[in-house]
Amino acid sequence: MELAANHIASRSKSQMSRLVLVAGLAFLVTGCAASSTTAPSASAGASASLNPSLVVAGASPMVASNAGHGAWIGLDWQAPVELAPYESVFDAVAWGGGYVAVGQSQNTPQSRGQAAAWFSADWHSWTSTLLDVPAAGDSSILRVLPVGSNLVAIGSSGVLHCVPPQGEGMVCDPLPTAIWTSTDGHSWKRAPTQKSLDGVNVASISAGPSGLLLVGDTGWANPGIWTSADGVSWSRESLPKDIFASPHFLAVAAAFGGWVITGYTGGSAIQCCTGSAGETTPAAWFSSDGKVWQAATVEGAAAETGDQIGRVFVGGDGLLAWGGRDGSTGWTSADGRRWSARPASASNPVNPEASDGERIVGASYAVGNGETFWVTTDGEAWQPLAASGATDKMPDWPGFGGAWATSGFLFPNGLGLVGQNGTTSFPLWLAEAVTAP
């Protein structure tokens, strides 16, 4: 499983996507964040430890060989839809013959936020369910994932406590974790409060064949890995010091029958609002069961200070990850055991949007301030995806006005996107996959 901040000036598409996609993952991070009822915002500490960066496929995307039978060769775009004002979507999944989205609902920007879920059979008409009204504070759902015959949604519910209450140097406790389950995406049940997750700063959550894995910490010097078979009951795993030397986890992904964790080692605790962890070294780890781990080999920029490996995209033939202290380094790996740095190019990079374990879909800038979409299975060679359907209503490239995408989700039948358009509601796009004959 895996739930957000604004930093649009001179940012790339991948930066915006990263900030929104990890919004949920920063929701329990200690940092200089003020309590807010709007869409969750990453604190300074969170935005530093989850620094957005750029992954590219080369100076110009390296075009893959001809697509095989059944491979995606295009995207058939539908006109975007919008939810009611002040309804924010943070994650979505295909479920029950339709789609389930989760996030937060508000009456006004000043009102308390309430955890919400939406269901649609066709992506056009959505029905909402309000899940939780805490006694004080706000609630929100930031991630939703299938676990067996259930959906498990993870977010927060409660009051944000900060010292001092407001201003420079403010440090906030993690928000209380909240978990909900559903069998149909319509009716939801709040799970008991998990004592094992008390005080946890969540960095990332992922689901795999054997359950779920969560990475984060209970303080700068106390990194942790938590596992769960059902998404409701969680256990903290031990971290052998010979494998985990001063680690800081940024992302976890299920890949190739096991797990991959990415992040960095070293550095210093982030102080509000420096936005930097100081001298760090990029690092990664892999495991077949989430309990016994090995350190991965990291090549390329390992000697650079301030570097890291961030969010992982999983294809059927390789992995792609964000990284780099200034958003200028990407990382690729064939199996999660050896990572290589790839310098970013100034020429039309491909920015990954979403992955499903089989393919990775990304976007690049197109003439007219639009976007061209691409697909890869290994993070190296990309196949352009021909656009059809409502192409005049596709997302724009960020920063040029109009509506642009901020988060992406891959479904068996295509690509879903959530975006912004400068109004009080979020546009939702669906582009159905066109496959090779």
- Determine the pLDDT at residue 384: 95
Structure tokens at 154: 């993870």
- Determine the pLDDT at residue 345: 57
**C-alpha–C-alpha distance, residues 204 and 299, integer Å:** 23
Q: Comparing C-alpha atoms, which of 19, 148, 161 is closest to residue 90?
A: 19
Can you name the CATH fold of 13-435? Methylamine Dehydrogenase; Chain H (2.130.10)
Sequence-distant (≥ 6) Cβ neighbours of residue 125 within 8 angstroms: none
**C-alpha–C-alpha distance, residues 198 and 177, integer Å:** 8
**C-alpha–C-alpha distance, residues 282 and 198, integer Å:** 28
Structure tokens at 329: 């380094």
How would you classify the pairing of strands 351-355 and 189-190? unpaired
Neighbours of 238 (CB within 10 A): 9
pLDDT tens, position by position, for the chain (437 residues)?
333 222 222 223 333 333 333 333 333 333 333 333 333 322 222 222 222 333 444 445 666 666 776 899 999 999 999 998 999 999 999 999 999 999 999 887 778 899 999 999 999 999 999 998 778 889 999 999 999 999 999 999 999 888 876 766 778 888 899 999 999 999 999 999 899 999 998 999 999 988 999 999 999 899 999 999 999 999 999 999 999 999 999 999 999 999 999 999 998 776 655 555 668 889 999 999 999 999 999 986 554 566 889 999 999 999 999 876 655 678 999 999 999 987 665 456 788 999 999 999 999 999 888 999 999 999 989 999 999 999 999 999 987 778 999 999 999 999 999 998 877 878 999 999 999 99
How would you classify the pairing of strands 414-420 and 258-266? unpaired
**C-alpha–C-alpha distance, residues 387 and 361, integer Å:** 13
Sequence spans of domains, the chain: 13-435
Tell me if 227 sits within 8 A of 1, measured CB to CB. no
Tell me if 116 sits within 8 A of 1, measured CB to CB. no
